[in-house]
Chain A
Amino acid sequence: MTTRNFHRQTFWLIAAGTFVLLLSLSLASPASAEHPLQETEKYCLSCHGNQDLRMTLPSGEGLSLYISQDALDHSVHSSKGIECEACHTEITTYPHPELKYETGRELSRAFYQTCEKCHSVNYEKAQDSMHAQAAEAGNLDAPICTDCHGAHDVRPPDEPRSLISETCRQCHAEIVDTYRQSVHGAALMADENPDVPVCTDCHGVHNIQDPRTSQFRVAEPELCAGCHANEELMKKYGLSADVYSIYKRSWHGVDVSVYKAKWPTIWHDSAVCSDCHGIHDIRSTDDPQSKVNPNNLLTTCQQCHPTAGPNWTDAWTGHNEISLERTPALFYVEKFYTSFTPFVLWTCIIYVALQIIRATVDRVRRNLP
């Protein structure tokens, strides 16, 4: 072989090698991006895609082992390449290790703990929730991650927004049905209104607390104020954004604020928002069924003030600024003291100041030679 020949061969070898390399790269890279991700899922579903695949647990309870391809396709995990083995870490091959759970519930309560691996913050919060407390107290039906989010079909929980109330409704049907009649719930159901609160806005998402505690009670005005003191938001619906600031100065509000500041754990009866407006059944003031509709207001007051008479409701100024039109007597009393008090006090101050000046001048003069 001559040197020239050798050089020619080398050139072709390099050219061919480069071509193969480029070709394989251009073919291989998209392939590795798509297929390997779905591989486990495809493999598992070759058995678990069978609708009739099932087993019987020791308790005699049947357990379907069917996983719908459709559910996986719509789940948030599968599309991100998070597949079966991400959660089912104990399964590496077939035959699978034996399941040691008596019932399906026991199995769910064991399997959901895998959520913590990625969602540790929300998982921790859920462990502090009332639901977790109920489970601790022995109610194994108390919800775990998968009861609300689903297991294989985990989807965004708030698409659409009304899905949240639907999720809670699985167990809290009566409350959610009441909520849907309320001014908030009706707006949500009508057009997925993003402004109105859904269950989780008031109760929290993962660390759902017992709403019957004194702490929840005294914090409630602030909770409602989250929206009802928002000027921009309230303007949209023609509502006053001052209800909270005025409430805080009212008979009820003073007590509640003080208890919140000093004794949040001591139950206090002074009215908070929900005592008058309702809890899940809050309605617009104009609604004849509203607890605070002018026609129903006295009955609402009589919950706590049973002997209150018909004039009683006019004494309520807890959400209204003092105005000449609505409360003229109050207006004039306020006006009197805001002008009379400074007048009297300034007169006193000037008069006393004059005396002090004179006394000082006299003393200085006396000391002069």
Chain B
Amino acid sequence: MDDEMSEYYFTASMDSGKTLCSLLKAIQFQEFAVFCALAEGLKLTVEEGKCVQASAYVPADNFTEYHVRSDVDVMFKINISVLAECLNIFGSGEESSLKMYYRCEGSPLILVLQPQSVHNVMTDCEISTQTADSVLELRDEDTSEVAKLVLKAPAFLGLLADLERSCDIMELKLSPEHPNISIITYGMQDRSCIDMPKSSEMVQSFNCTHAVTLKYQLHHIRLIMKALAVSTKVVVRCSSNGLLLLQLKLEKEDQRQMFSEFYIVPLLDD
């Protein structure tokens, strides 16, 4: 059986699938994701329209075993909500060991889970896979980075949670001058503005070459909230074309790290 396994395109084991599960739920705003097993680690990507692209990245050192055949591309489309439900099959109160198997192109992804506290039960899942559409490349090599901020994730989440949901648009103003960071939302008759100076404890680092004012759909920005809730810090990078990149770091108890990444396209003024 082992020989056969080494022919498999991809196999991996983890002591607990819990963190992976919460990371997947954080990017679960579409039904399907592109699953990529790279040599460095696992990456799942979800896209909404051509405006938001979110990825979950799990470096290989998070796994107790991680094997990807070097001569093939392991990339397929899979239903991410089914995957998340399977990872959670024994409930969030239970730590379950996880094994993943992908035999070859077109095979289903096989998961085997065993709870750590109960020894007479196990679950096996077969989730069908499809050929992946290519992943949109939103980065533009020709643009430069205008601003980069590092913020504490929980505090940033608190700010976003406070924004009025009924507003469609969020305006982000970044400037080397005080107040360095401003988030503005417009309601029916009112306007709200949150000012965050770079001296704030929330801001771990701040770099801004020149003042920019950018508009985003509030709904898109809110998509990062689930990921923020499980992360420790977020790096916000703004390109000269307005593309916003938010990189979130999730740190587990064993000091291993997982990441999520969000590209958000700005609203262009007519």
Q: Do A and B come from one complex?
A: no
